[in-house]
Amino acid sequence: MGLPNDYDEGLSMQRAAFKQYAQAIPGAYAIRKADKAPCRMACPAGLNVQGYVQMVKEGKFHEALEIIMEDLPLPGVLGRICPHGCEDACRRAEVDEPVAIRNLKRLAADRVDPRGIQIPCAPARPDRVAIIGSGPAGLSCAYHLARKGFRSTIFEALSQPGGMLRVGIPAHRLPREVLEQEIEVVTNLGVEIELNTALGRDLSIDDLFRKGYKAVYLALGAHKGIELGVPGEKADGVRQGVDFLREVNLTGMARVGRKVVIIGGGNVAIDVSRSAVRLGAEETTIIYRRTRSEMPAWEEEIQAAEAEGAGITYLAAPQEVLTRNGQVVGLRCIRMQLTEPDSSGRKRPVPIPGSEFEIECDQLIPAIGQRPDLTALENITGLTFSRYGTLEVNAVTYATERPGVFAGGDLQTGPWVAIGAVAAGKEAAESILRYIEGRDVAAGRQPVAHENPRYRPIPQNETRRPRARMPELPVAQRRGSFNEVELGFDEPAGRAEAGRCVNCGYCCECLQCVDACLAKAVDHHQVPVTRDLQVGSVILCPGSEPFDPAMLANVYPYRKNPDVVTSLEFERLLSASGPTMGHLVRPSDGKEPKKIAWLQCVGSRDINRSGNGYCSSVCCMYAIKDAMIAKDHAHGDLDCAIFYMDIRTFGKDYEKYYTRAKDTAGVRFINARVHSVDEAGPGRSLRLRFVDEKGEIREEAFDMVVLSVGLQVTPETRELAKRLAIDVDRYNFAVSPPFLPVATSRPGVFAGGVFQQPKDIPGSVAEASAAACLAGRMLSAARNTLTRQVELPAEIDIRGAEPRIGVFVCNCGVNIAAVVDVKGVQEYARTLPNVVFAGQNLFTCSQDSQELMKQAIAEHRLNRVVVAACSPKTHEGIFMDTLEGTGLNKYLFEMANIRNQDSWVHSQTPRQATAKAKQLVAMAAARAATLNPLAEKVIPVNPRALVIGGGVAGMNAALAIADQGYEVVLVEKEERLGGMAHRLHATIEGWDIQRYLQELMGRVQSHPRIQALTRSLIVGFGGFKGNFTTEVLVGPGMYERKIDHGVVILATGATEYRPTEYGYGQSEHVVTQVELGARLQEHGARGLAQVVMIQCVGSRNEQNPNCSRVCCQAAVKNAIHIKDLSPATDVFILYRDMRTYGLLEDYYEQARRKGILFFRYDADAPPRVETRDGGVTVTFRDRIIGRELQVEADLLALSAGLVPSDTEELSSIVKLARTPEGHFMEAHVKLRPVDMATEGLFICGTAHSPQLINESIGQAHAAASRAVTFLSKSRLTLSAVTAKVNPDVCAACLICVRSCPYHVPRINAEGVSHIDEALCHGCGICAAECPAKAIELNWYEDEQLLCKVDALLEGIL
């Protein structure tokens, strides 16, 4: 089944059974389901319509029949005569017309003989069941009983089986051979049919029980025609429609008149008319009392009857049968008119007085309905009847009041559809099974109500395709013959028709996957389970969704034009694993684009249209990245233009990337908001209109337009927040209390990632750790209370033993076995040197295979194991654990990857693949023979942390660790704790920083597990993760102290840049933002008539190429503060890009509303400042009016950047990597944002990068969390894959010392290189570099690699 691949943003297709993406871990498949499709819900018998339609689409007619015959033994019959309620429910009608479901069912039965389908049946049971009536209900009941193991006997009153299917429906609609074949389907299961045996006349219910039948099923149908109730009805030539049809259908003939009048509007009336025509009637007229639109007969049947010459008189009712000599000669009718609807919802016909008319006829056939003939049942005790003359049963179980007697079909419902009778028979079979077994007949069978079912949305771009038309026998060939009129679809037409199905339920439940899965892992009966979990804390990381620009269709022709894509779609186009495998092409025509435009802020910073007033924080950076990658992927010149309002590259080192894109890579940045995107026509370019910086309207054409869509909280998350009773803001982001960035309004519930507010990956990762920290703080008492220890047997000593290798070759289901000759590989493996055992498994990684492997190891005394299967990246650990479980050292193991490196990638050349698999196994076995047991070193962990820096970040980290039960030594070089925060007063939200700081310092100083050392300096440092020793000079006495600790947190902070620009230091009227904040705090806005602020002072320039992140909000914060204190004061903010990211955008907006004036300036033309008495004169150019402006300011505030504290000496002592600007360098920018490359060291706060106080707190919690992952373990097990030096060969040449990326090797007291295994990362670079070959990397020793080369190339020379 083809469904849009969500991971590829719908740009490629996937199946309902899918893996999220190629590299997904776990690499497991899922099956996408919605509620059961409406067609299936509409079918009385619950046929899996979507399933068999999909099989027909695939041309799998056999499988289609298997699905149909799960419920229905008569596919060809119902495929012709079912009134198909499923089609009325079909959602394809929302696009064009319903899928021709019934005809597809018939196609399957036309292509494959249903008698050839294997019907799985339970083992035969001795109990027998009697069924009265061989119509659809009786046949269905017998069929389903047979599947449950019961043999039944059907007693049929007529001479031929089939009930109404045979005697009610003429052969031109249902050929006799089709019906007979499908009755055979039932009798082939051992069901007996006794004909000419009527209840009442030939047998009684009591007889049946006496004969040993355990249950009786009554399915007598409704074969008695309803009389007209008009005078003359007993005349010759008047005959009930059902009686007429019965005779025709049983004998192939019946007397027909010349002029036949039929009364009624249902299918029976039509069948009578069409049969009469075939039997030679010259003229048939149908009289119906309502109009055509109320007529219950099917439209196609009415049309067919008309085509065959039937006349239909609407709005007429019979009044009297006109007779002559007891023989009918005509009919007096009266005209009717329709009035208000009756109980059936149809308009009620009433006679028009005086409108009588007569028609001539010689045969009159009433077909106004039929009812059950109850004569045989009326006197049976225990049976009750409704006032409609039907038998009453339990609505769920179909049990009558009499024990052991069940009933269904038309007898119980009155005349209804055949598929309803089939459903009733199936349900009765279930009841009979339970009755005979003595179980509760009704339990668990109440119908499930499906309110608001969820279905796959109908694709918006679904093209309209007309429903396939049924080919028919030409009208001229119909008279005089009962040959079938509808000829059936041919295969291509049917498969195309099935392709119109929109797959409402996603998975069609064809269950092919269940058969295909050799591991028996697929379970379609899984249902959501509600479970109660006792937890101490909840962390919410529900993520976000990209804004859907479809709602802005009037601006951007997204979805209308395939070349307008969202940024996420564009990312997929760039991805190597994406729909185009990384080949950048235009979706409309597959050509490479020459010009691409990015439109920023789509669904962000937009209160008018999307309502998302915030900045999504990530789009500028991803747009630049995508432009850079696009340029990289393009063959030839690619022009990339980014249309933006402000470029917000405020993250760590992001500005440098922006500068590179602009100045080196030539990405164009256009400061304009595009107001329209016009399509020049399909396959042609897109025209963008925008107002440029000079205020002129411009137009430019592009091949593709990328919409940089923002992030937003999903409706599901909104609901989740509601259920958890946590507060969200107006954009649905979680609200946090002051100074606790990942907490929510509800204690114990934490939120991280974009749900907290829009942010990038490093921010999200850090926050996740922060949330874990806060949760851990509450749960620390419970730590390790639920863990279990694995008990391992003592290690077997294999020293001196000859290698005894066991090779386990995996079939991986069909993954390997379908390509590689696994048996051949297994046999070959046995011939290899040292191999004493070779086996194969269906799935070597399965639990039972592990047990078999353990047995084989013991039985064959294996001391090396080779698994030829998949990738060690995913499976090595499992097998190593198994080895350990048998007492073998886990390093005595090797894998040969005959799946990922062989069967998967050489599927086209199976012979070569088998040869390669053998070689891979030979190589693995050769290496296995060389392997030695390796001991993993276990080191203790000192559960004490050292925090360097006592600012807000350092104190928070210290408290977070100490609160979890570990000791902390906090070292601060200044006299008091608090750092930079002493100079700050309030956050932009208005939170009081001083009060917070006092509280924080108080908690740190009084915490029993924190020692705060002020005026202290780090002077020495050594050790490795878990075991560091630091020498500290502790003030004021400056005595030396050695501190042993397990982890280090670096929180050395930053200070405000001291400007040299704009007359700072020369005039008291020039201050920094921090100074302005203090001044406003102390003196208010007194004397400030005009204030100018200049942004990016000491940031984004040659000396400091980074953005300082905090200054834009600082300016906005202080400007708002001034306006609040003194609304008359004019405030001018001169900026390059306003970087009020995330929710700060609201304050920017507020500032503009308060009348604060913003002017953009160019880095090449900064404002000019002249100091004068009583103020400064600031001159700058306004780009929109194109003129210089001058402001006489009382005060000039410089938004001075943040510079990291001087850590030069500290870095050399502790050996810390720093950026050129002096920030500490994390281990991985995205994924390990607070870890240093050296294990056991963590960073947080402004020592990491410029950030706001709240962000610093979050990062401090993150670093504390990471640190606790070490502290909470009493010991660490180190990998044994480390380098070791042979001191006898070492020449102390220092090459290893210089080449190690982690500075691990040292020349020791003996004058040779020493590599500390606790510090070694195991890359092996030193081993490769060592000229004396004195160094070997464990598990990758030279011989262990070279033996693979030798094994591979053996015999080549």
Partner 1 sequence: MRLNYPSSVRIIRVPCTGKVDVLHLLRCFERGADGVYVVGCREGDCHYQNGNFRAKKRVEQAQQLLDRIGIGGSRIRMCNLSSSDAPLFVRFAEEMHAAVMSAGPNPIRGARAAMKAAPDASSPAAHP
Task: Pick between residue 12 and residue 1029 the one whose CB is nearest to partner 1.
Answer: 12
Pick 1185 or 1345: Cβ nearer partner 1: 1345
Whether 466 contacts 97, CB under 8 Å? yes
Shortest spacing between CB 1250 and partner 1, in angstroms: 24
3-state SS assignment for residue 1003 = helix
Minimum distance of partner 1 from residue 1219's CB (angstroms): 15
DSSP element (H, E) containing 1115: helix 1111-1125
**Which parts of 124-271 are beta strand (E)?**
128-132, 151-155, 192-194, 213-218, 224-225, 259-263
Q: How far is the CB of 898 from partner 1 (least distance, A)?
A: 11
Residues making contact with partner 1 (CB under 8 A): 22-23, 575-577, 581-582, 872, 897, 901-902, 904-909, 912-913, 915-916, 919-920, 923, 1237, 1281, 1299, 1301-1302, 1321-1325, 1327-1329, 1337, 1340, 1342, 1345-1346, 1348-1350, 1352-1354, 1356-1357
The two structure tokens encoding residue 1124: 């609040």
- Rounded to 5 degrees, φ, ψ at 212 are 105, 0
782/1353 with CB nearer partner 1: 1353
Least distance to partner 1, CB of residue 1328, Å:
4
Q: Distance between CA atoms of 706 and 563, rounded to whole angstroms?
A: 8
Coil/strand/helix, residue 1269: helix
Angstrom distances, CA of residue 728 to CA of 719, 754, 855, 932, 1061: 11, 13, 58, 58, 43
Pairing of strands 370-371, 224-225: antiparallel
DSSP output for 773-816: HHHHHHHGGGTTSS--PPP-PPPPP-TTPPP-EEEEEE-TTTTT
Cβ atoms 56, 100 nearer than 8 A: no
Q: Specify the residue, 654 or 1180, whose C-beta has the smaller distance to partner 1.
A: 654
Closest CB to partner 1 among residues 873, 976: 873
Query: What is the closest distance, in whole angstroms, from the C-beta atom of residue 866 to partner 1 in the complex?
Result: 14
Q: Which is nearer to partner 1, 670 or 1236 (CB)?
A: 1236
CB 1207 within 8 A of CB 1226: no
- How many other CB atoms are there within 10 angstroms of residue 911's CB atom? 11
Q: Minimum Å distance from CB 821 to partner 1?
A: 14
For the CB of residue 147, give the shortest distance to partner 1 in the complex, in Å.
Answer: 40
Neighbours of 83 (CB within 10 A): 18
CB contact at 8 A, 478 and 485: yes
Q: Report the C-alpha gap between 1121 and 1197 in whole angstroms.
A: 13
Number of H helices, E strands in the chain: 36, 61
Report the nearest approach of partner 1 to the CB of residue 895 (Å).
9
Work out the number of other CB atoms within 10 angstroms of the CB of residue 523.
9
Cα 1032 to Cα 1020: distance, rounded to the nearest angstrom: 7
Which CB atom, from 918 or from 1121, has the smaller least distance to partner 1?
918
Q: 749-751 and 538-540 as β-strands: parallel, antiparallel, unpaired? A: parallel
Nearer to partner 1, 112 or 1337 (CB): 1337
User: Distance (Å, rounded) from C-alpha 333 to C-alpha 294?
Assistant: 19
Q: Least Å distance between CB 1327 and partner 1?
A: 6
Rounded Cα distance between 287 and 280, Å, is: 20
Nearer to partner 1, 20 or 901 (CB): 901
Q: Which is nearer to partner 1, 902 or 1239 (CB)?
A: 902
What beta strand segments (E) does 179-229 contain? Answer: 192-194, 213-218, 224-225
Strands 357-360 and 347-351, sheet pairing: unpaired
CB of 1281 to partner 1, least distance (A): 7
Please give the Cα distance from 995 to 177 (Å, whole number).
93
The secondary structure of 461-487, three-state, reads: CCCCCCCCCCCECCHHHCCCCCCCCEC
Smallest gap, in angstroms, from Cβ of residue 931 to partner 1? 13
Using the minimum distance from each CB to partner 1, give the nearer residue, 676 or 932. Answer: 932
Measured CA distances, 54 to 411, 453, 489, 490 (Å): 35, 21, 16, 16
Nearer to partner 1, 209 or 1302 (CB): 1302
Shortest separation between residue 703's beta carbon and partner 1, angstroms = 23
Rg of the chain over all Cα atoms, to the nearest angstrom: 42
411: closest CA among 444, 432, 389, 427? Answer: 389
Q: How far is the CB of 719 from partner 1 (least distance, A)?
A: 34
Give whichever of 935 and 1345 is closer to partner 1, judged by the CB atom: 1345
If you ran DSSP here, which 8-state letter would residue 116 be given? Answer: G
Q: Smallest distance from the beta carbon of 838 to partner 1, in angstroms?
A: 20
Closer by beta carbon to partner 1, 116 or else 1355: 1355
Burial (CB count <10 Å: 0-12, 13-18, 19+), residue 1037:
exposed
Complex with partner 1: residue 567 or 914, whichever CB lies closer:
914
Between 165 and 920, name the residue whose CB sits nearer to partner 1. 920
Beta pairing partners, 322:
330
Length of the chain: 1357
Nearest to 983 by CA among 951, 1006, 1005: 951
516/792 with CB nearer partner 1:
516
DSSP 3-state assignment of 738? coil
Cβ closest to partner 1, residue 185 vs residue 1281: 1281
Closest CB 1354 distance from partner 1, rounded Å? 8
Rounded to an integer, what distance in angstroms lies between the CA atom of residue 390 and that of residue 385? 5
